[in-house]
Amino acid sequence: MLMTDSDVRPTLTAPPTVVADGEPPTATPDVFTVRDLNVYYGDLRAVADVDLDVRERQITAFIGPSGCGKSTVLRCFNRMNDLIDIARVEGTVLYHDVDLYDAQVDPVAVRRRIGMVFQKPNPFPKSIYDNVAYGPKVAGQKGNLDELVENSLRSAGLWDEVKDRLSSSALGMSGGQQQRLCIARAIAVNPDVLLMDEPCSALDPIATGRIEELMKEIQNEYTIVIVTHNMQQAARVSDRTAFFTAELDDTTGQRRGKLVEFDDTGTIFSNPADERTEAYVTGRFG
């Protein structure tokens, strides 16, 4: 069946509730289920044999040294790798049990439901208002755009700072404000998931702190997956953490990304099961 913008976001189950007799809550539903994921750039296998699950309304962090495949895996979640001619994705990536790589799935609809915030702020050379309204306009959204823009900017913690200059160019904003504007722009098309690829790497500590606060504020509304080199950031904001590393492929002699360990963030940082994870989080390599 062809996946359209309206059905790419299936009806979700109700949030977990505490049952009688003090039993724990039911399991949090999985938004993404990844099995045997391999990503190739031409003949290079950049990521090998990744299995992981991303839970609904949680913040999941991907950490690891440069070149370990974190961003490559992230881009599989909204089919951004499709835009690279030599990229090839093998394995299974399910979104609410829908195979994102089925031939009948519309990647444009996927990207409306699974938004992305990039490493460097990339506002359009338009007004602050038009940056936020652009996506809904392109999607043909009806209704009150003024209200939508305001609500999106409020969700991004930016409304009070810009409400008196919505017609001003977004390029005149500070770096931290631009990044929050990009988050507001992503929120405006009503996504289910926000992917964040090193969203704070170009920001100062104050702006970084504001983005981290924002992630925690909105996680009850969105499932968030963040790639970060900042281990302290992962420890502060995420519920679960995946540690990737780059290892040598004995067959090709090339380095490839590999998922080493994936667990609750507290476990990854205080009691990891793999010595490579411990070495990385304690600063002995990476």
Structural domains in the chain, CATH included, are: 28-281 (3.40.50.300)
pTM for this entry: 0.87
Tell me the C-alpha to C-alpha distance, in Å, between residue 86 and each of 17, 45, 70, 119, 247: 45, 11, 18, 22, 22
38 neighbors 73 (Cβ within 8 angstroms) = no
pLDDT reading at 60 higher than 50: yes
What pLDDT digit, counting tens, does each position of 111-139 carry? 989 999 999 999 999 999 999 999 999 88
Q: Quick one: pLDDT at residue 27?
A: 56
175 neighbors 202 (Cβ within 8 angstroms) = yes
143 neighbors 151 (Cβ within 8 angstroms) = no
Q: What crossing angle do the helices spanning 175-187 and 205-218 adopt, rounded to 10°?
A: 20
Q: Quick one: pLDDT at residue 10?
A: 41
Categorize the per-residue pLDDT at 141 as very low, low, confident or very high, splitting at 50, 70 and 90: confident
Q: Quick one: pLDDT at residue 284?
A: 79
pLDDT reading at 256 higher than 70: yes
214 neighbors 199 (Cβ within 8 angstroms) = no
- Of 46, 134, 135, which Cα lies nearest the Cα of 84? 46
39 neighbors 73 (Cβ within 8 angstroms) = yes
What pLDDT digit, counting tens, does each position of 33-52 carry? 999 999 999 989 999 999 99
